[in-house]
Amino acid sequence: MTREPLERGISVDPGTVAEAGLLRSGTGASGRGVRATVLIGVTGLALAWPFLSDFTVSLFATIALYAIVTAGLVLMTGVAGMTSFGQAAFVGLGSYATAWVCTSPVATAALGAWVAPGLLPWIGLLLGAGLTFAVSWGLGAVTLRLSGHYLPLCTIAWGLSLYFLFGNLAFLGGHTGITGLPALTLFGFSMASPRALGVLAWVVLLIVLWGLSNLLDSREGRAVRALKSSRIMAESMGIDTARSRIKAFVLAGLLAAISGWLYAHLQRFVNPTPFNLNIGIEYLFMAVVGGAGHLWGAVLGATLITLLKQRLQDWLPQLLGASGNFEVIAFGLLMLFVLQRFPEGLWPSLASRWHRWLGAPRLSPREAMSKPADADTHPQPRGFMAPAGISIAETRSQAQLLKASQVTRRFGGLLANDSVSITVCAGEVHALIGPNGAGKSTFFNLISGVDQPSSGEVQLMGQSMTGRPARDFARLGLGRTFQHVRLLNQRTVLENVAMGAYRTGQAGWLKSILRLDRREEAELLAEAQRQLERCALTAYAGASAGALSLGQQRIVEIARALAGKPRLLLLDEPAAGLRHLEKQTLARLLGQLRAEGLGILVVEHDMDFVMNLADRITVLNFGSVIASGTPAEVQTSPAVLDAYLGGVIEPEVIERS
Ligand code: ADP
Ligand code: MG
């Protein structure tokens, strides 16, 4: 049914690319012991390779081919959160492209004059990659706009379409397929035997894992990680999430096509069967069982499923005394079991268990927090620090950063914001207050590009922002935090803060994959580290963000916003959930930032906090501005006292000012 391992010739040795960098899978669960184990495993396979039976060699070659596709799925589905059932179709594109180039009379006649026969498969690779690039970009542009269940459904639709296309095109041999593919030759070596091609497949797999792990360990990798759970946050950091999604999708497609190309030259014939929807589901199954968020999970999943399928295909018919695809039923049950017991897949559990056997327990986030690895090199500051070299008096100015004029937002018949006008200047803290449902969050969305006003205009740094996305606001110097904290809980505090520095970097996907971004990456991380120091969070740099208290997470969000070097900061309820002392430190930090010349617009319910900090206050009620002025003016406004019914603004606060 699927790719059957072939039994053919002999020679060579895989896995020479197993350099240390490759084993940094970019995921938390792989400690040093696990890396060593993987290295030993790959070296062991390389050493044993010449002595393995032809059958075993074919099986391992198939595993590598599966794992290349699955690694792409780990990036796309596990990390970026886009489920695809259709990867087998891209494998098919890669296979059919090379099969056609190498065997069709049209292609060989056209190319024969200026290309040696040995180069035809490489032309096939280029064609397959080009086709896959075009098709996946096109499909991605259409389908990736969809969310929820629609995206996976669409992948099923085009997975099926391409499969039937392969089977129904006469020049691709219909359902019988294409036979007589030549063997690959590389630097004059023939790869006719599965033993030789298997080496190539493993080398390609290891290079793919190395590249993907580099990617995940970079600025663009952090952007990809944010796609799954926090697209609004990512856009607010200046990340073009639609582009990131398409790139992840295209990269996964290209890896599938490369696997297909290798597969075609391993089998030396192609037919539509291995590119069926079933197999597309099987790839996804491998990723999920292995651990969809972990690159080495792809190898584990591909190995387990391939070996298991092999065994079950032999055993089950014998056991049950009848022939049939019983392994499919067994897989279904296995999937249920794995998802129940190991929702993250097997790799993370195995990795941490293995680590425990090796006698070096991994620090839990809380332990990691109490034992900061860099406590000696980075003494923790007592309070918030001003960045070096900034003179407070010099940077203070009154430039207008934000100007919202007559901004209105309707939700059906509801006027959530009714002609709201506000300005925020450099070097001031402007507070936006009002009872629940007054329209504060709606207004925040309008002035940060998350939502568009029904009428009225928002100007940022003097530019009209009508119709522009959140990332443009970020590029112009807007930093923000969220009422409901949006951090990547599994990632470290340092990585989360570095995400804020995204738009200050340049390195793209290719540079990141090839690890040519190290200088810039070091700068971004150093900037994140500086912001952590400034916010007195250095001790938590290595802890998972999810392990921090809500108050600390809010400060991490501020540090993340600061890492983007903003001129204007929007803070949505920064003091909510903070303890008294934390509020005091937060107020000190905001005072410090104001002194450095930042403009700050803050929505906050804690009146004590607001009244003591803000230079100006605007009060919203039922979507309209009912008062605006200094804290003293606002507190004595009858409209404000009326709106709050004397409940929230406590008399003592009013008296104090
Ligand atoms: P606040 O942040 O001041 O508590 P919001 O801005 O969240 O208030 O809400 C203002 C009003 O707009 C509320 O009545 C809310 O129900 C309504 N609203 C907010 N967002 C939406 C939306 N996406 N669709 C419909 N109504 C909304
Ligand atoms: Mg709100």
- In this prediction, residue 18 carries a pLDDT of 31
209 close to 18: Cβ distance less than 8 angstroms: no
Query: Rounded CA gap, 52 and 10, in Å?
Result: 9
Determine the residue type at 348. P
Minimum-distance ligand 1 atom for the alpha carbon of 442: 6
Judged by average pLDDT, the poorest of 289-293, 386-390, 471-475 is 386-390
- Asked if residues 177 and 266 have their Cβ atoms less than 8 Å apart, the reply is no
Supply the pLDDT for residue 458.
96
User: Is the pLDDT at 652 greater than 60, yes or no?
Assistant: no
Residue 646: which pLDDT band, with cuts at 50, 70 and 90? low
| Neighbour-count burial of 560, counting CB atoms closer than 10 A to its CB (0-12 exposed, 13-18 middle, 19+ buried) | buried
Query: Looking at the predicted structure, is the pLDDT value of residue 568 above 50?
Result: yes
Q: Judge if the beta carbon of residue 436 lies within 6 A of ligand 1.
A: yes
Q: Give the helix ranges, DSSP H, for 321-361.
A: 326-341, 346-357
Whether 476 has a pLDDT exceeding 90, the answer reads yes
Identify the residue whose tokens are 């391939």.
306
Q: Which of 234, 283, 240 is nearest to 76 (CA)?
A: 283
Closest ligand 1 atom to residue 438 Cα is: 3
What integer is the mean pLDDT of 373-377? Answer: 37
**DSSP calls for 39-68:** HHHHHHHHHHGGGS-HHHHHHHHHHHHHHH
Sign (positive or negative) of CA dihedral 159, 162, 166, 170: positive
User: Strand order of the sheet with strand 624-629?
Assistant: 478-480, 568-572, 599-603, 429-433, 616-621, 624-629
| Residue 508 pLDDT greater than 90, yes or no | yes
Q: Ligand 1 within 6 A of 442 CB?
A: yes
Residue 151 CA neighbour count, 13 Å, CB half: 17
pLDDT confidence band for 319 (50 / 70 / 90) = confident
Distance from Cα 415 to the centre of ligand 2, integer Å = 15
Q: Give the per-residue pLDDT at 24.
A: 41
Res. 174: pLDDT tops 60: yes
Atom in ligand 1 nearest the alpha carbon of residue 440: 3
Range 174-194 burial, b when 16+ CB lie within 10 A, else e:
eeebbeebbbbbeeeeebbbb
Q: How many CB atoms lie within 10 A of CB 32?
A: 12
Residue 17 scores a pLDDT above 50: no
Task: Ligand 1 pocket test: pick from 414, 417, 619 the residue with the most ligand atoms within 8 Å of its Cβ.
Answer: 414
* 411 Cβ below 6 A of ligand 1: yes
What is the reported pLDDT for 334?
Answer: 83
249 alpha carbon, distance to own chain's centre: 12
CB of 434 closer than 6 angstroms to any ligand 1 atom: yes
Longest dimension (CA), the chain: 93
- Indicate if ligand 1 lies below 6 Å from the C-beta of 86: no
| Residues 594-604, mean pLDDT to the nearest whole number | 95
Cα separation values, 241 from 225, 311, 587, Å? 11, 43, 33
Least confident of 43-47, 127-131, 197-201, 383-387: 383-387
- Asked if residue 441 has its Cβ within 6 Å of ligand 1, the reply is yes
Query: Does 21 have pLDDT greater than 60?
Result: no
Looking at the chain, the whole-number percentage of residues with pLDDT higher than 70 is: 87
* Among 107-121, 260-274, 609-623, the least confident range: 107-121
Handedness of CA 70, 76, 82, 88 (dihedral sign): negative
Mean pLDDT value of segment 2-20: 33
Coil, strand or helix at 621: strand
352-361, long-range: CB < 8 A, 24+ apart? 352/29, 352/31, 354/33, 354/34, 354/37, 355/31, 355/33, 355/34, 358/33, 360/31, 360/32, 360/33
Report whether pLDDT(647) > 80.
Answer: no
pLDDT beyond 50 at 604: yes
Residues with CB under 5 A from ligand 2 (ion): 441
Give me the mean pLDDT over the 556-574 stretch: 95
For residue 42, give the nearest of 303, 254, 350, 262 by alpha carbon: 303
Pocket lining: 440 vs ligand 1, CB cutoff 6 Å:
yes
Q: Give the position of tokens 């599938």.
A: 256
Q: Residue 362 — pLDDT band, cuts 50, 70, 90? A: very low
The atom of ligand 1 lying closest to the CA of 620 is: 3
Least confident of 176-180, 314-318, 498-502: 314-318
Q: What is the pLDDT of residue 360?
A: 54
CA-closest residue to ligand 1 atom 21: 411
351/623 Cα distance (integer angstroms): 53
3-state secondary structure of 266: helix
Q: In this structure, are residues 588 and 526 in contact, taking their beta carbons and an 8 Å threshold? A: no
Q: Is 416 in the pocket of ligand 1 (CB under 6 A)?
A: yes
Q: Is the CB of 437 under 6 A from ligand 1?
A: yes
Helix (H) or strand (E) holding 410: strand 400-411
Residue 486 is predicted with a pLDDT of: 95
* Contacts (Cβ under 8 Å, ≥6 apart) of 369: 539, 540, 543, 547, 548
Evaluated on CA atoms 455, 458, 463, 469, the torsion sign reads negative
Phi first, then psi: give them for residue 619, nearest 5 degrees: -110, 125
Ligand 1, pocket-test mutation among 232, 411, 484, 603, most atoms within 8 A of CB: 411
Alpha-carbon distance 337 to 502, whole Å?
A: 39
- pLDDT band, very low/low/confident/very high, at 331 (cuts 50, 70, 90): confident
Q: At what angle do helices 120-143 and 105-112 cross, to 10 degrees?
A: 120
Distance separating alpha carbons of residues 397 and 598, to the nearest angstrom: 9
526-555: average pLDDT: 93
Instruction: Give the C-alpha separation, 221 to 219, whole Å.
Output: 5
Residue 445 CA: which ligand 1 atom is closest? 6
Nearest CA to ligand 1 atom 20: 442
- Going from the Cα of 419 to the center of ligand 2, the distance in angstroms, rounded, reads 18
CA-to-CA distance for 262 and 260, rounded, in angstroms?
5
What is the percent of the chain with per-residue pLDDT over 90, rounded to a whole number? Answer: 63
- How many other CB atoms are there within 10 angstroms of residue 222's CB atom? 24
> Residue 655 has what pLDDT?
40
Mean pLDDT of 471-489: 94
Cα→Cα distances 337→71, 78, 117, 333, 345, Å: 22, 19, 50, 6, 11
Take atom 25 of ligand 1 and give the residue whose Cα is closest: 411
What tokens were used for 616?
């100006």
Structure-token match 């024969």, residue found: 112
Of all helices (H) and strands (E), which one includes residue 444? Answer: helix 440-446
| pLDDT greater than 70 at residue 649 | no
Residue 423 has pLDDT above 60, yes or no: yes
Cα–Cα nearest to 387, from 230, 533, 559: 533
Q: Is the pLDDT of residue 394 over 60?
A: no
Q: Which atom of ligand 1 is nearest to the CA of 436?
A: 4
pLDDT band, residue 146 (cuts 50/70/90): confident
If one compares 606 and 323, the residue with the highest pLDDT of the two is 606
Q: What is the mean pLDDT of the chain?
A: 85
How many residues appear in the chain?
Answer: 657
- From the CB of 484, is ligand 1 less than 6 Å away? no
pLDDT at 70: 97
DSSP run (H or E) holding 557:
helix 550-563
Instruction: Report the pLDDT value the prediction gives residue 79, as an integer from 0 to 100.
Output: 94
Ligand 1 pocket check: which of 420, 440, 442 to mutate, most ligand atoms within 8 Å of Cβ? Answer: 442
pLDDT band at 313 (very low <50, low <70, confident <90, very high): confident
For residue 345, the model assigns a pLDDT of 87
Nearest CA to ligand 1 atom 17: 416
Structure tokens at 12: 């060579």
